[in-house]
């Protein structure tokens, strides 16, 4: 799990017009922003659109940011709001094949293992409901604590904890149904 420690000064520096701060923010958060948008929209192009809009909104809204020690939560709340706006406007397209491909794990050294693991993970993630998938992706991609995820998703912390636990159990059960080659066990 990657833990993103975002410096609040980046947003303050962005508000002052510092382009290097914007570049740093993008480098530190782009994976989490894209992954979260993708978990909501389930389409590569839509997630990229929301990612783009998120960074524009982040840059233009930096002057209104109130430091509270949670800059990543602020950015991810923007992602959530933009993604939901896109859904409400009916401007989303469903492309599960692209969604599954986009969730790949690039850090694997052995490509054969990476392909097998990716296939198993994609199959396991299919069984998660909408909120479970968001919670799993936010925790895995950003290292956010469950209470921070609860704030972003506007859910009680207990609900986030139980949905995360349920998601892990579902995925574990699904993964155990596959043999070492990534094929469903008979």
At 51-65, the pLDDT tens digits run 999 999 999 999 998
- What pLDDT, in 10s, does the model give residues 143-185? 788 888 888 888 999 999 999 999 888 888 877 765 554 455 4
**Domains in the chain, ordered, with CATH?**
8-176 (1.10.1740.10)
Give one DSSP letter per residue of the chain, joined into a string.
Answer: -------HHHHHHHHTT-HHHHHHHHHHHHHHHHHHHHHHH--HHHHHHHHHHHHHHHHHHGGG---SS-HHHHHHHHHHHHHHHHHHTT-----HHHHHHHT--TT-SSHHHHHHHHHHHHHHHHTS-HHHHHHHHHHHHH---HHHHHHHHT--HHHHHHHHHHHHHHHHHHHHTB-TTSSBP-
| Global confidence as pTM | 0.65
């Amino acid at each position: 799990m990657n833990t993103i420690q975002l410096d609040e000064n980046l947003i303050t520096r962005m508000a002052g017009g510092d382009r290097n701060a914007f570049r740093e923010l993008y480098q530190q958060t782009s994976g989490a922003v894209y992954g979260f948008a993708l978990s909501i929209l389930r389409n590569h192009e839509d997630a990229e659109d929301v990612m783009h809009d998120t960074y524009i909104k982040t840059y233009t809204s930096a002057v209104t940011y109130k430091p509270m020690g949670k800059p990543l939560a602020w950015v991810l709340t923007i992602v959530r709001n933009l993604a939901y706006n896109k859904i409400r406007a009916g401007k989303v397209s469903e492309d599960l094949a692209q969604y599954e491909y986009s969730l790949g794990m690039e850090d694997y050294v052995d490509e054969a293992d990476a392909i097998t693991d990716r296939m198993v993970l994609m199959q396991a993630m299919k069984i998660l409901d909408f909120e479970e998938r968001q919670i799993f992706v936010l925790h895995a991609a950003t290292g956010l604590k469950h209470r921070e995820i609860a704030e972003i998703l506007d859910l009680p912390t207990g609900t986030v904890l139980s949905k995360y636990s349920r998601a892990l159990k579902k995925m574990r059960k699904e993964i155990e149904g596959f043999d070492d080659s990534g094929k469903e066990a008979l």
